[in-house]
Structure 1
Amino acid sequence: MKTLDEYEKKKKKKRKIGEEEEEEEPQEKRDWKKFKALKKELKIKRKTKSQGVDDKYEVGCRAKKIWEEVRQGNCSQKEREELCKQLMALVRGKVKSLIFAHDTVRVIETLVAVGEEYRTLLFDELKQDIVSLSKSRYAHFFVLKILRYGSREQKDEVISSLKGHVVTLMKNKIASDVVELAYNDYANAKQRSMMIQEFYGPQFCIFHEEDIHCLDDALKKYPDQKKTILKDIHTNLQSIIDKGVFTNTMVHTLLRDFLMFSSQGNRESIIEALRESLMPIIHTRDGARVAMLCIWHGPKKTRKIILKSFRSHFVKIALEKYGHMVLLAAFDCFDDTEFMKKVVISELMEELSQLVGSDYGLRVVRFLVAPRDPTFFHPDILAVLAQGDGNAISLKDNVKRRQELQQAVSPSVLRLLIANLKHWSVNANWTLFIGASLKALSGPEINTIFQELANMCSEPYVPGLEGHFLEIAHTTKMITYIIKYDKERHAAYKPIFSTVLLTTAEEEAAGWINSNRGCFVLLNMIETEIPEVVSKVKKVLGPHKDKLASLKFKGAELLLQKL
């Protein structure tokens, strides 16, 4: 072993020899062009050696030159076909070494798009590597193109290749796009259930069962394994949520099923993780159901955080096919109505005209005016909303909650009715809504609406007169509905429509007996049992009893009996 002194002596000797050489030979001027060329050549050699394919770089460069000619707009069809043949001959057998790079993958994608012959050759060469291709930042585009443009057999083979890897791929931001496209657009019911089952645990990942299509089926078939299945789903979903790749429809379905069947304790961690990230997922059917379940079962603080995350987007949500259901669920269960007024309703009322111009927006407004009214809502919608009944968080009386929300929207909705009353009162799409609004809402605007409707009814009536309210069935039905509610309004010391109507149209009311509908309007006034209304109707019709007796309308017969 050399001592330190020997090492220093040797080092000085080398330095001295070098100095002598420098003195003997003067330094030559460096040729920078040669130096750069040599450096570039060494870089290419290192790159080629590190990639493990000696001719990969050369093949890539040649392929890109041909591809550049193919993609030119002035390239004729005949030239394009010839160039594609050359390109395919060049890359065949080397596709796997080219497809993972950002530039050469475009060459492969062009061949996939050119025709079925090239697509088949490329797929046959790569079909054993679908999983690794799906994880690659650039190569996964090839898998996406096979799913979009490949034959049914190729699509099925891609989906089959995912078997046993679905959960792993869904945790990868790049690969999750491949799984999403396969599941959402190209998989059949059997393939979808196969992909979903992998989240239920290792046994379902290996042995797929055809009679299990959803979590409900799995829990019914294996009730003793419920705890284990839900635990596996929770573990898989939690890792997916943590990585931020939960915007896929398959994840929405799994989240919905898990939140429906798990206990309140198990729900809380998932709801906690999702509470500020629900906005991107409520545009899908299952995503909207997930948001509804989070609102129904989330603690009060979490509910507020969820709704605050929707700020400045409430109008957009109200106009969406599935998103509007989230708002209905919130209106249906949120106890803090003051918070709802400040955060949600105030934003919606600012764009009320836009809401009523859309089918889904109008549904939101109708729900605020007449919540869960079967006149406006299909039984299927009511059945979905009923799933939130009895949740452990909502404690306020339903009637009180609805009245407070109705009070909050009254001024805006009634002003909108006044502005459009002339047209809406003769439109079949709006007459029921006008009736429901006048029944549920309150405010000084009610008197204005009553007077406007009375003025409309005060036009002289002649049988067959076009445009008269008695000649329009839905308008007459609306007037009758408003009159029937006068009994309740009178008991609550509220304004009465019958009084306004008789005062305004006293001279024309006698002429209404010439119509069956008019007789029923007068009959409904008598049935309100309000003394001043009944006496006024009898006073108006007293001189016309003989004429009523001669009429053969059913309404005239019943009206005569009341007189």
Structure 2
Amino acid sequence: MSLISILYICCHRVATWAIYASSRDNILHFILELPWQYALGPHISVNLIFCKKISRNIYFNLVAIRQKNFLRLRSKKIIHQDIEQSPLAKTPALLLFFQSEIPYSLRKLSFIMAGLKRAVDGSEERNGKRSKIKESSASKSKSVKSSSSSKKDSKKDSKSSKSDKKPSKKVQKEEFEDDDDFDIDDVSDEDIDALDALSDDEMPDVSEEEEKPKSDKKSDSDDEEQREAPKNPNPNPNNNNSRESHIKQKALQQERKAAKPNADTVARSKKLWEQLRRKSHVPLEQRKKLVKELFEIITNRVRDFVFKHDSVRVIQTALKYGNLEQRKLIAHELKGTYKELAQSRYAKFLVGKLIVHGDDETRDLIIPEFYGHVRRLIRHPEGSWILDDIYRTVATKAQKNRLLREWYGPEFVIFQDEMDTTSDLAKIIEAHPEKRGPIMNYLRELINQLVQKKSTGFTMLHDAMLQYFLCTKPGSNEANEFIELLKGDEEGDLVKNLAFTKSGSRLMCLTLAYSNAKDRKLLLRFFRDTVKAMAGDVYGHQVILAAYEVIDDTKLSAKSFFPELLNQNEPEEARNEELCYQVNDLTARIAVLYPFAGERVKWLLPEADQTVLEEVREVRKETSKKDPAMRRLELVKAASPTLLEFIAARASTLLETTFGCQFLSEVLFEADGDKTAALAAVAEAAKSHTEARDTAHAGRLLKSLVQGGRFNPASKSVEKVEPALNFHDVLYAQIKDEVVDWATGTNPFVIVALAESEGFEKKSELLKTLKKSKKALEQASALVVEKDGKKKPSPTSSGAKLLLSKI
């Protein structure tokens, strides 16, 4: 049995099954893909036959799929004699007919029933697009065809804006394919015999044509254009068709705009907006005239402008350039619509403009319209951001409390107690213990909804989450479920967003304090690639400090924070440059210096940070085991090598600023490791940079380093560090030729510290040098400064007097 016979039997059985499945309604919704078509391609030719039973007559519409040249012959669709006697022909169905002498020319075949849309044309010119002209049924009469053709013409006119972008060749092909629809009764037996007589020589081979170069295809298309030239007398119809369709499209667009209400008013206002928005090109006087004209147009019509994407910009520009009275006029005209405006995709920006450019009266006009709608607005994709922006930026404390109370249940929406306006959930539950269950359930449900929707960046949400966590008992199911909620966010967006708000950072600090070691490790993972941003944030750095305080595994802390915080993975030059910016920033330096500051950390931290950390330290007593001093020393040891290398490379830059000198003193006193290179770099910078060394902060730093420790005001003594720095020897080696200049300059107390140092081996040499310049010291000691009308000794004179007493 040949391969073709086997294939025919398989397809015959598939068709029989399809007929049986569709015999009830004679409609076959069936698509057959041929997975073996590539292997048998050279041997198979497929004729797609759609059959439909109409008035007891079976009509066959045979579409012979051929090459482009064969299509141009416009071959008639026929019924093959072998199939006419087949039992499959008695039932309307999908029939497969194989003819081995015709080449297989299609690489993707889809067989579908009549009545569905035409299959996708696989030719290269159509790019796989479906024909825009539907096939007419073979059973329709000619009169029906004529009416359908007129409808098609009307459709083409209405869709000219789409068809002008397509090449004319495609349009011609679509018309050509449409002409292939015919009635089977028109086919004669002579035509059938003529087509059956076609030989292999007359039919072009697919394989041969595919091997032809592209130039042959191009020549064929050129020949086709030449034959069809009489139909299109215009040599280049594409340009004219495109131009005409574009003109029609513009005309239709103008007609649609003109038909809209207030079309003239909107058009005039948009012209004024076009001039006003060019800020740098409009003189002040001209702008005032334009704004005045614009307000004449929009007054008492603002509501007609605000819900359209183009006209709402006009109102925003009017708010921007209008005076306070004009802004109030717009705000009062929109009264009663702010809830709808906040939920509008475009008008929400207008509400933001009113809040930014308005005064307290405007604010108090807008915010009360959100009362009672917080639950709906906070879940709205547009209104949630406007509500949260208002809550975070301009709302008063009383307004914030009322908005936040609506998170606790519908009771707080319906029944408003003017005397009780607190949003502290703990106080509310303390006053009404019986309400704890409903309030906590309602609040937990609303929080969970926003977390599941990934809407985790709202300050109002963070405040509500903090209130919920503060009302849970540590170790209870509620507290554990809440921590699981934080851990459940696989992307970590919730935890990251919490770190950058006041309530959220406090919540994360408490969560780290109450969590076990495993949960802490998981939470720290979420902060990867966010550490530096957190360190520079006014609230985010508190989370880093809390992690320093409570995590016993200091290797985990160092691994989680220091590579990014200290730029350890960057090249040396880039790392040092970035650290220069960090240590000179008021907030970013806190996370770097906190382990080195120890118990004297109060000078480094703001009051808000101290309050949060005191709360964390109280919780730490129950949840952490390691000694706090040991934990701090281990963190210092991990950070010291990078910072000492940084000082050795950039000591001169650090000596120029107050923050830089504070950084130098903390690290050089507390760092663990070899400090020789860093101390030498500081001494060299003190000699070479005269402007930097003459500043007060540089003088205090050098004096402390020479003394070898910090001065304790309580005991009025210097607390020396171990091991000793011996900076006096390093500094004297650099400045021994300039000692007199230092003693009579702006920082004589550095020389005083050298003269008072106990371990300084060259003290006698220093005193001899000073003794030789006694006259210069006496002159310096006589210097006075006038302050508040009174003459007082200058710092130079005070230092010179002390040196005179030493010699």
Instruction: Report what 1:7 is aligned to.
Output: none
For 1:396 and 1:80, locate their aligned partners in 2 and report how far apart those are by CA, in whole Å. Answer: 68
* Cα 1:231–1:215 shift into 2, 3 Å: farther
AA matched with 1:193:
N
Moved more, 209-218 or 74-83: 74-83
| Helix, strand or coil at the partner of 1:353 | helix
For 2:392 and 2:465, locate their aligned partners in 1 and report how far apart those are by CA, in whole Å. Answer: 16
Preserved CA contact (<8 Å) 2:665 2:701 = no
Instruction: Report what 1:48 is aligned to.
Output: none
Preserved CA contact (<8 Å) 1:335 1:394 = yes
For 1:25 and 1:349, locate their aligned partners in 2 and report how far apart those are by CA, in whole Å. Answer: 81
Aligned pairs (5 A) from 1:487-506:
489=722, 494=723, 496-497=725-726, 500=729, 504=733
AA matched with 2:639:
V
Moved more, 259-268 or 164-173: 259-268
Q: CA deviation at 1:377?
A: 2.9
Q: CA deviation at 1:138?
A: 4.7
* Cα 1:409–1:60 shift into 2, 3 Å: farther
AA matched with 1:363:
I
Preserved CA contact (<8 Å) 1:193 1:212 = yes
Aligned pairs (5 A) from 1:102-251:
104-107=308-311, 110-111=314-315, 114=318, 127-128=335-336, 130-138=338-346, 140-141=348-349, 143-144=351-352, 146-148=354-356, 153=361, 155-205=363-413, 206-215=415-424, 218-219=427-428, 222=431, 224=433, 227-228=436-437, 229-251=439-461
* Cα 1:244–1:428 shift into 2, 3 Å: closer
Preserved CA contact (<8 Å) 2:583 2:659 = no
* Cα 1:151–1:482 shift into 2, 3 Å: closer
* Cα 1:298–1:510 shift into 2, 3 Å: same
Q: CA deviation at 1:327?
A: 1.9
Instruction: Report what 2:248 is aligned to.
Output: none
Preserved CA contact (<8 Å) 2:708 2:721 = no
Preserved CA contact (<8 Å) 1:451 1:500 = no
| Helix, strand or coil at the partner of 1:344 | helix
| Equivalent in 462, 471, 478 of residue 252 of structure 1 | 462
* Cα 1:408–1:213 shift into 2, 3 Å: same
| Equivalent in 282, 288, 300 of residue 505 of structure 2 | 288
Structure 1-normalised TM-score? 0.70
Instruction: Report what 2:625 is aligned to.
Output: 395
AA matched with 1:395:
K
AA matched with 2:634:
E
Instruction: Report what 1:67 is aligned to.
Output: 266
Q: CA deviation at 1:159?
A: 1.9
* Cα 1:119–1:112 shift into 2, 3 Å: farther
Preserved CA contact (<8 Å) 2:728 2:754 = no
For 1:359 and 1:279, locate their aligned partners in 2 and report how far apart those are by CA, in whole Å. Answer: 22
Preserved CA contact (<8 Å) 2:354 2:362 = yes
AA matched with 1:160:
P
Q: CA deviation at 1:231?
A: 4.1
| Helix, strand or coil at the partner of 2:626 | coil
Preserved CA contact (<8 Å) 1:318 1:324 = yes
For 1:507 and 1:20, locate their aligned partners in 2 and report how far apart those are by CA, in whole Å. Answer: 114
Q: CA deviation at 1:149?
A: 5.5
Mind listing any 5+ residue stretches in structure 1 that lack a counterpart? Answer: 1-10, 14-18, 41-56, 460-465, 527-532
Instruction: Report what 2:28 is aligned to.
Output: none
AA matched with 2:444:
H
AA matched with 2:558:
K
Identity over aligned pairs, percent: 20
Instruction: Report what 1:6 is aligned to.
Output: none
Preserved CA contact (<8 Å) 1:63 1:107 = no
* Cα 1:164–1:254 shift into 2, 3 Å: same
AA matched with 1:369:
F
For 1:409 and 1:248, locate their aligned partners in 2 and report how far apart those are by CA, in whole Å. Answer: 35
Instruction: Encode CA deviations 1:439-487: one digit per residue, 9 max, x unaligned.
Output: 211222x12344556678999xxxxxx9599993453234224388886
Q: CA deviation at 1:414?
A: 0.8
1:269 aligns with 2:481: yes
For 2:539 and 2:431, locate their aligned partners in 1 and report how far apart those are by CA, in whole Å. Answer: 32
Q: Work out which structure has the larger RCO, using CA pairs closer than 8 Å and 6 or more positions apart in sequence.
A: 1
| Equivalent in 571, 577, 582 of residue 355 of structure 1 | 582
Q: CA deviation at 1:407?
A: 0.8
Paired residues, number: 501
Instruction: Encode CA deviations 1:336-367: one digit per residue, 9 max, x unaligned.
Output: 22222223201222243332242222222211
Q: CA deviation at 1:139?
A: 5.2
* Cα 1:226–1:262 shift into 2, 3 Å: farther
AA matched with 1:269:
E
Q: CA deviation at 1:433?
A: 3.1
Instruction: Encode CA deviations 1:133-165: one digit per residue, 9 max, x unaligned.
Output: 544445545544554566755543432222222
For 1:449 and 1:398, locate their aligned partners in 2 and report how far apart those are by CA, in whole Å. Answer: 28
Q: Whose strand fraction is larger, Structure 1's or Structure 2's? A: 2
For 2:768 and 2:290, locate their aligned partners in 1 and report how far apart those are by CA, in whole Å. Answer: 98
Instruction: Report what 2:650 is aligned to.
Output: 420
Q: Whose helix fraction is larger, Structure 1's or Structure 2's? A: 1
Preserved CA contact (<8 Å) 1:112 1:118 = no
* Cα 1:190–1:498 shift into 2, 3 Å: closer
For 2:496 and 2:140, locate their aligned partners in 1 and report how far apart those are by CA, in whole Å. Answer: 75
| Equivalent in 436, 441, 448 of residue 677 of structure 2 | 448
Mind listing any 5+ residue stretches in structure 2 that lack a counterpart? Answer: 1-53, 57-137, 161-255, 277-285, 568-574, 712-717, 775-780, 782-797
Q: CA deviation at 1:500?
A: 4.3
Q: CA deviation at 1:383?
A: 2.5
Q: CA deviation at 1:250?
A: 1.9
Instruction: Encode CA deviations 1:20-49: one digit per residue, 9 max, x unaligned.
Output: 995899844414454578999xxxxxxxxx
Instruction: Report what 2:16 is aligned to.
Output: none
* Cα 1:158–1:502 shift into 2, 3 Å: closer
For 1:435 and 1:39, locate their aligned partners in 2 and report how far apart those are by CA, in whole Å. Answer: 78
Instruction: Report what 1:410 is aligned to.
Output: 640
| Helix, strand or coil at the partner of 1:388 | helix
Structure 2-normalised TM-score? 0.51
Preserved CA contact (<8 Å) 2:375 2:407 = yes
| Helix, strand or coil at the partner of 1:359 | coil
Preserved CA contact (<8 Å) 1:425 1:475 = no
For 2:479 and 2:616, locate their aligned partners in 1 and report how far apart those are by CA, in whole Å. Answer: 14
* Cα 1:58–1:224 shift into 2, 3 Å: same
> What is the alpha-carbon root mean square deviation over aligned residues?
5.1
* Cα 1:221–1:26 shift into 2, 3 Å: closer
* Cα 1:419–1:125 shift into 2, 3 Å: closer
For 2:329 and 2:736, locate their aligned partners in 1 and report how far apart those are by CA, in whole Å. Answer: 89
For 2:553 and 2:503, locate their aligned partners in 1 and report how far apart those are by CA, in whole Å. Answer: 26
Q: CA deviation at 1:406?
A: 0.7
Preserved CA contact (<8 Å) 1:447 1:495 = no
* Cα 1:326–1:80 shift into 2, 3 Å: closer
Higher-Rg structure is 2
Instruction: Report what 1:325 is aligned to.
Output: 542
Instruction: Encode CA deviations 1:344-399: one digit per residue, 9 max, x unaligned.
Output: 20122224333224222222221132245234334443222222112354332211
| Helix, strand or coil at the partner of 1:442 | coil
